[in-house]
């Protein structure tokens, strides 16, 4: 597969903006920087951040075992996904394939970028229909989005099916691993070298507990990363985000303990949900949330709001009629949810 053939002609021809910090990197203590029209009085954030986030990437390199030229960082996964659209999808010409029910941002970004969406539904077990997906693609199908574990269904997507799709889809396959740290499945990051058309996205928003700093991570071949680097806003990851991410990634024990705690609480929550009469189905979860089917999702959703508990009503999503998505909270929060559900069921 020739990745160059998939890139938009405008992007291939683009001469990227060269920022002051791209042109010269050096030690703040010994050099005098008069090149970026910054305010010279030090306050911790008066300088532009490193556009290549070198310190942060070097930590990720150790943790994930990938070299820096295979990593691009963004202002949340949302920015990373948007960059992928802008690199590969020609507005009003190209299309993408999504597998509903899945994460809503893929289709929102497609609409923003004027890209047609071909939806190929997951089957009853929320697994992809590989044949239907390959039948749906045409010469303008640039991206295929696979979310594993999938949101809102919470299940892992079968690794064998993902591999088949990466090998046979004629465009770029994006495996969104926002919830991978909760799953027993191996990350596709370890298989990047085998597949030039594979992009893996991760985030610090979920298991790492840093939704507020907005840090999305994209792993791909050096060829794809260099294209995305050309089009990203020069200073897209701010200095405070880089700092806090470095601190949290260095705290491996805290993150691991929190993941273990959430998984333990998830299993307790699932066993308690079984005793709620109007819960008719609890879908298998490999993430930090649970999808359940109830008698009347909209009614139950509003009853919980009355009790001060906000969950997500997913009833309008394909294949999710009367389904609610519950994020696993702390022990106390989950207990409050279960108490509310029991009292609703008795009223």
Closest distance of CB 175 from ligand PLP, Å: 11
Q: Are 100 and 317 in contact (CB under 8 A)?
A: yes
Contacts of 90 (CB under 8 A, 6+ apart): 8, 9, 140
Closest distance of CB 152 from ligand PLP, Å: 8
- Tell me the residue nearest to ligand PLP as measured from the CB: 76
Closest distance of CB 216 from ligand PLP, Å: 4
Closest distance of CB 147 from ligand PLP, Å: 5
CA pair distance 133, 165, nearest whole angstrom: 8
For residues 89 and 147, which CB has a smaller minimum distance to ligand PLP in the complex? 147
For residues 245 and 341, which CB has a smaller minimum distance to ligand PLP in the complex? 245
CA pair distance 309, 307, nearest whole angstrom: 6
Per DSSP bridges, beta strands 95-98 and 141-147 are parallel
CA pair distance 178, 128, nearest whole angstrom: 18
For residues 292 and 341, which CB has a smaller minimum distance to ligand PLP in the complex? 292
For residues 7 and 174, which CB has a smaller minimum distance to ligand PLP in the complex? 174
For residues 68 and 78, which CB has a smaller minimum distance to ligand PLP in the complex? 78
Closest distance of CB 153 from ligand PLP, Å: 11
Under DSSP, the state recorded for 311 is -
Closest distance of CB 203 from ligand PLP, Å: 3
Q: Give the DSSP per-residue string, 171-212.
A: SEEEEE-TTGGGSSSPPGGGGGGG-TTEEEEEESSSTTS-GG
And the tokens for 321?
């009629």
Which residues sit at the interface with ligand PLP, rule CB under 6 A?
A: 76-78, 103, 147, 151, 176, 178, 203, 205-206, 211, 216
For residues 157 and 282, which CB has a smaller minimum distance to ligand PLP in the complex? 157
And the tokens for 144?
């295929």
């Amino acid at each position: 597969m020739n990745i160059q053939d998939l890139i938009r002609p405008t992007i291939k021809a683009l001469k990227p903006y060269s920022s002051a910090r791209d042109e010269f990197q050096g030690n703040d203590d010994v050099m005098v920087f008069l090149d970026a029209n910054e305010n010279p009085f030090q306050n911790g954030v008066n300088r532009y951040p490193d556009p290549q986030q070198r310190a942060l990437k070097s930590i990720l390199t150790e943790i994930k075992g990938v070299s820096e030229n295979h990593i691009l960082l963004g202002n949340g996964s949302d920015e990373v996904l948007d960059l992928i659209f802008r690199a590969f999808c020609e507005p009003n010409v190209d299309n993408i394939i999504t597998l509903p029910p899945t994460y809503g941002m893929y289709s929102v970004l497609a609409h923003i970028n004027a890209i047609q969406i071909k939806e190929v539904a997951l089957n009853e077990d929320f697994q992809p229909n590989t044949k239907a997906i390959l039948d749906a693609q045409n010469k303008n199908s640039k991206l295929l989005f696979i979310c594993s574990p999938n949101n809102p269904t919470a299940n892992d997507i079968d690794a064998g099916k993902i591999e088949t799709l990466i090998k046979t889809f004629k465009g770029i396959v994006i495996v969104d691993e926002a919830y991978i740290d909760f799953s027993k499945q191996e990350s596709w990051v370890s298989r990047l070298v085998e597949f030039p058309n594979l992009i893996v996205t991760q985030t610090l928003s979920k298991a790492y507990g840093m939704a507020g700093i907005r840090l999305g991570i994209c792993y791909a071949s050096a060829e794809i990363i260099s294209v995305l680097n050309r089009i990203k806003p020069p200073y897209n990851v701010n200095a405070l985000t880089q700092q806090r991410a470095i601190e949290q990634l260095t705290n491996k024990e805290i993150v691991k303990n929190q993941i273990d705690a959430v998984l333990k609480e998830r299993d307790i929550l699932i066993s308690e949900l079984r005793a709620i009469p109007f819960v008719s189905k609890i879908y298998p979860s490999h993430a930090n949330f649970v999808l359940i089917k109830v008698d009347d999702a909209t009614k139950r959703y509003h009853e919980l709001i009355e009790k001060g508990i906000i969950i997500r009503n997913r009833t309008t999503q394909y294949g999710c009629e009367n389904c609610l998505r519950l994020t696993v909270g702390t022990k106390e929060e989950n207990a409050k949810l279960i108490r509310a559900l029991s009292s609703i069921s008795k009223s």
